[in-house]
Structure 1
Amino acid sequence: MRIRLPDRPGALGRAAAALGTVGIDIHQVQALERAANRAIVDLVVALPAAMLPGAVARILAEIPGVRVEGSWQTSDSLDLDTDIEVLAETVANPGRALHVLVDAAPKLLHAHWAAALAVPGGDVVHASWRTPKIGSVELGTLRPRALTAPDGSRLALAPLGSRYAILVGRRNAPPFHPTELRKLSVLADATARVLTGVPEQRRGGLSLVRPSTQG
């Protein structure tokens, strides 16, 4: 859930207290932006079994100065040191560095899927579980940026060295924030540096995934 609230002491505490009174458990808080006396924060929460996401939005909307930017269902939150764990795994297994990043990216960015694309063609070379069926992607100028797909899905794209790019998607959610794009870009750049030292034959085996079979 993404919320906008006043950037002053106690504002986030009031939101957390309101959620706690109805049994909502906050797993993670990430501050995305602080400017002009306003803050944008992502909350990862677990709802009671009978509660719908719309009820949470209504609870927060009743707090003066708080505005809900959007809410979406995602996988379980990860520990805050998971970024480091992903980088450690890529260093330990450089031949699988691209796979490790793609498979971890959905949880790292609270998204639903991720795919590595060949440059410049845009063909999928590896995709995470539940990636929808996608054809070749028009990459254009390869730089970190947020996009919106024709079906309304929110996308984040970042270069992964000169040979690949990573595309991350989520549904029914706000656009990827610049803070999230920076995170993806840093991880992609680090992974690309690991891949640079991998002999070409070890990069092989990145077979074209047929995403429609992934559930």
Structure 2
Amino acid sequence: MMLRLRVSFPDRPGALGQAARVLGTLGADILQVTVLERELGRAMDDFTVSWPGTVDAETVRDRLSGVPGMRVEGVWPTREIPGAAPDYDLLKHVAADPGRAFATLVDAVPDLVSADWAVIVSPESGELLHRSWQAPEAFDEGSGLVGVKVTDLATLRPAVLGSGRHQLMSLPVPGTSRHLILARADGPPFHRAEVDRAMRVLEIVSIMGRTP
């Protein structure tokens, strides 16, 4: 199985190696390391790892947390293929069929930021205009988005929110009143690096989608 691990640790020589050694003793194959931030003497990285079978996420969390100064921010499944370029693939498909730009976006953008699903919503009507196949059909109690209203998600700027068992990202679609909402159930809140990546792709898709 393949997991994403978000780990915070002191930004000093050897700290990254300590995390890699712990994962190695657990039988993990480290496929990719993504640097999220380096500031105030600490670093935060995402590890994409695979195991030959199933793994107890709590065991991984406990072993890594046993290293002095190391914190595990999240452990969750991921579909992202290390070394792939899903953002380029997404833009290629949009360029091939601009009329389906936003339908293509919601299908593909979750894999860019290890999200579970995506929708584009109209705040005025509450209608989900486009949705990935995993997304709920409406924001109601059955969707797991406890207490969330569409107007809560419709901010003027990118925002990260939590609701029920989901972590949410809300991005305004440029030039419209619509919003792109992404969600994941098992991972930590979306990092600003993930928000920035999704927003850049959304801006390009918005331009391509308006091309005659």
> Which interval holds the TM-score relative to the shorter structure?
0.7 to 0.9
Structure 1: distance between partners of 2:138 and 2:129: 11
Gaps of 5+ in 2: 140-148
Give the TM-score taking structure 1 as reference length.
0.84
2:116 is the alignment partner of 1:112: yes
Q: Quote the residue 2:179 is aligned against.
A: 165
Q: Quote the residue 1:201 is aligned against.
A: none
Q: Quote the residue 1:41 is aligned against.
A: 45
168, 172, 177: which one pairs with 1:155? 168
- 1:133-187 Cα shifts (integer Å, max 9, x gaps): 42372144332110112x1310001122233321100013211111111111111
Shift of 1:51: 2.2
Q: Give the number of equivalent residue pairs.
A: 197
Shift of 1:45: 1.7
RMSD of aligned alpha carbons: 1.8
52, 56, 59: which one pairs with 2:60? 56
Given the superposition, is the C-alpha separation of residues 175 and 127 from structure 1 closer, same or farther in structure 2, using an over 3 Å criterion? same
21, 30, 52: which one pairs with 1:26? 30
Structure 1: distance between partners of 2:82 and 2:117: 16
Q: Which amino acid aligns with 1:81?
A: A
Give the TM-score taking structure 2 as reference length.
0.85
Structure 2: distance between partners of 1:58 and 1:5: 14
Gaps of 5+ in 1: 199-215
Given the superposition, is the C-alpha separation of residues 100 and 78 from structure 1 closer, same or farther in structure 2, using an over 3 Å criterion? farther
Structure 2: distance between partners of 1:50 and 1:166: 33
Shift of 1:193: 0.4
2:129 is the alignment partner of 1:125: yes
